Structure 1
């Protein structure tokens, strides 16, 4: 037997229940993983609350790192004892043991701990596609990054700075300013400020070619107003709630803007793309270009407490759950 967090009905953090469950067996193309560390991400909140729909009961979580215990039939490029990590569907990471499709796993470099891996796969792979594929950041660009002291935000700030961009970060409170600044943000704004006005001052009226916005409803309009003509609005999260229906004519009125709602699932759907993104992420982390900050850890059984802290914006960097 094993243990996992189970959700029988969607709702608040209290629906996350620690239960004894059978240890699963890997089927064709799958492996059984003994999980050493599990990543906490806002997408877990979306599934738990019912914003994102999934059949119930379910075990949440899309990110973890651990050791392969058993191989299912047809798995050729992995071995028992391999250290692996993932950030992928299907749900089920909040567990001591789980099965995963072998083609969704990547080998973990020896120099990276399980905790670091669980704190970087979702955030790091997301940052990789946002900076290199959704909008290809180039030297001299000025980029605006919301939640700049959060898990994805800290990686985005560091990586964008390495690519030669000038980085404007937005944080929710004064206590997070220094953290964002120490991770590459050239300017750090507070969320209660008039963000478009501040961006106008910083850029001498030019505004920015891209906004990375993980907040959603509360910041969407301001984000559009920060963009230069032909700029790209990248809405990749809903921390404050989903963005209401959009009148697309305002994109024309504000400068023929582009709007996208990307997801990691799509950008890593092909294994070649997943491996390429992971290779790029591991390279910048191992070289010290991007520092992964696991700022909080919780026992996996206390996942509800971790969700409360995340939703209250009491966390910085990455949060990891330990089975």
Structure 2
């Protein structure tokens, strides 16, 4: 049986803006419930809900708040007001990081929020000229700065299927790493972890795969804690960009090579055609992957069966049907 990569000892915990979970905590007593988060992903993860505005004592309902640049300082408050909630929002971000950061395997923020936006948060200028710039939510900035490895996304960006798949994949990889680190892994365990993620990493960044492999190969006698830190930083950075179609096709071709001596002529042609059709965008990734999985079941290979690439997350999420 092909090994799956999500048999964990504890639930996958993902931080989420409470309004995305359906909590009526917005300025107008409403919510922005995410169907994907709550109707699809929720079956496989445990959400930890946060609303920075409510946490710092703002009421429901409340005046809308926005970011305003005053000289070189970003303030947060209602329009035409001297109130500034930025220090409290930043402090709450630090508190959440200190108390929950190590337990979280991902975070989903509410887009464009002055507290929770990951990017492109509108910043007004003090002169009220109508000119604006873009920044990061005050709370989100603290979470991301203090947890640089943590997979983070916004609800709006999760509507892009490539970004959605990439986020969920990173969450599962990071959770696997978190459980590995608890056991204080040695060089052998790190090398095994890297080997299991070979083709997943190759599909995103072939050079990173080679560099991280070289790092571990030369790791004997080095400080293990430093080695672990360098490795996971490189891994998460390499996986942070959705895999390009040509890199996925290259990875599929590498996997195809394992079957060249066991498949018949027709089977080889069928697999080649599926990979080529994927390469030119005629079919989703799921098509050639399904064929490869079938051949792997029919012609077992212990090394391939351990590859996270085949099952980076539950198949039921169907994330590879649309990329």
TM-score by length of 1: 0.27
Which structure has more helix as a fraction of its residues? 2
Which structure has more strand as a fraction of its residues? 1
TM-score by length of 2: 0.27
